[in-house]
Structure 1
Amino acid sequence: MPDRLLTEAVLESARDLDRRSTADVLRAVHDQDAVALRAVEAVLPHIEHAVDVLVLALQGGGRWFNVGAGTSGRLGVADAAEVPPTFGYPADRVIGLIAGGPRAMMGAVEGAEDDPEAARAALRDRDLVPGDAVVALSASGRTPYAVAALEEAHSVGARRIAICCDPASPLATMAEVAIAPVVGPEIIAGSTRMKGGLAQKMVLHLLSTTVMVRLGRVEGNLMTNLHPASRKLRRRAVEIVMSLAKVERERAECLIEEAHGSVHDALARARNEKR
């Protein structure tokens, strides 16, 4: 392992950060956030390749696992958790795993990221098979938990995707598809929750959104497979049916009720009525 990781380098232009005004600190952080945006743009072709891999895996009945530790793990779990309510996709098909388990979502679990066996066990407990896909996340590309996840995927023949910020890292070199936006040193040296986390978040929602679009889980740009489990989402569901079926609010509400909350089925009923 190199003496100095890319993600541990010091941003020389911010050496005086502690002596700047509030406005200047905010501007400096915001300017560095823009670096993450450009870095992700540079790897869009790799993200496209990963989308193709994930679509094939899911179409074939496989599952998609996001696996990581710390900030990377939390981002992976959060994005996986958003897929079922947003796109009506089964929760057991897109799964987030974080080092240290669920309690690591709320706080640090000391040493969890350095436990490769825990990653292997988590995937074995879920019967990882060749048709599945593992997306391993680590800003440095060297976190033992994330690296072990790809090793386990390789051992069973599952698909392997890496999201990291160092294209020369072990995680990137082990993956079939490496998505490695190079964001450079953090404004707070080593704090990869900043640009590194932002870049990973952008990559994750690019992947999940595009994969679900490719799988037909939206119509136009509307959530026609959402689960209306809250007041806000029930209003959204009604408005989607009104817009696409060209019906009044009362009829849209009836259609959704008859379809047991399914926007997709409510639209099908409305369209069948008009034939």
Structure 2
Amino acid sequence: MADKCHLCLLGLIFVSSLLTGKEISVFCNGVDDAHVFISSGENVRLSCNNALPDCTSTTWIYNKDSTTVELIYSGIKNKDAESHERLSLGSDCSLNIKNITKEDCGFYTCRPFVNDKQLGTDARVSLHVLQVSSSSSQTEISAGRSVTLSCQLYSYSYAGVSCDDWIHSERIHLFWVNQAGVKLTRSDSRYQILSSSDHCLSTLTTTLLNEDHNREWRCEVTHRNQVKASVTQTLSRVQVRKQTHDQLWKMIVIIVEFTVFAAPIVILLQIICARRAGKKNLQHLEEMVMNTILE
């Protein structure tokens, strides 16, 4: 059943994108698929549009690649599911998932059962997870160092369909914006922006400045021209190195100032000591001469 649905989905995607170029909803067997985009670490709620009043008839099924797991069966969580501790069933039979990870991306199906018989059609949700990572650890971040930020969209993959084909047909875009909300482009000489056609990946590479302390770079994903999710990356240790650099210069300035003011005092003390030493030598010489005369 799932394979036939996938074939139907692929057929519609390619026919719509390659032949007509018009927007079309992913549709199979009379059911529209909902697309939900979420940032990693956040909580998400997946609606069950065909739920019956009594959630004890609700079953949630998770599918990704060749993996199929019943997360909820007849309103009860499957304790053998790896994510069961983060799952809960809402009063409207929606599926709630806490602290989303990239492994949670996939295809979710809400299916109503009564007396072990399915009633109505499936309600399907495609969950896409957006995640940003940095090439440098926090201890390596400093002004003058090059850093690469990677923004990746984890999605349900269909056999034989590349990520590039899928996001093109669904009009999904990944891009970077600065803290003012201005889209960064490849024409900006300070940033090198690259996109991967195989992994729904966009990277931003730049050389950090002292002014980049607490500066925000945000990766956004749009679906059919609407922003669906975003992740903000802030590099907050740039100033730590900057402060250390400033403190070093302050110490050098203090040492120079101390040397400038202390040098005359040292010279004066040396002169005084020399004069005192000269007087003692002169007195000693006079005593020697007097002793010689007396003898």
Q: Which category of TM-score, normalised to the shorter sequence, fits these structures? A: under 0.3
Structure having the larger proportion of residues in strand: 2
Question: Highest Rg: 1 or 2?
Answer: 2
| TM-score, with structure 2 as normaliser | 0.23
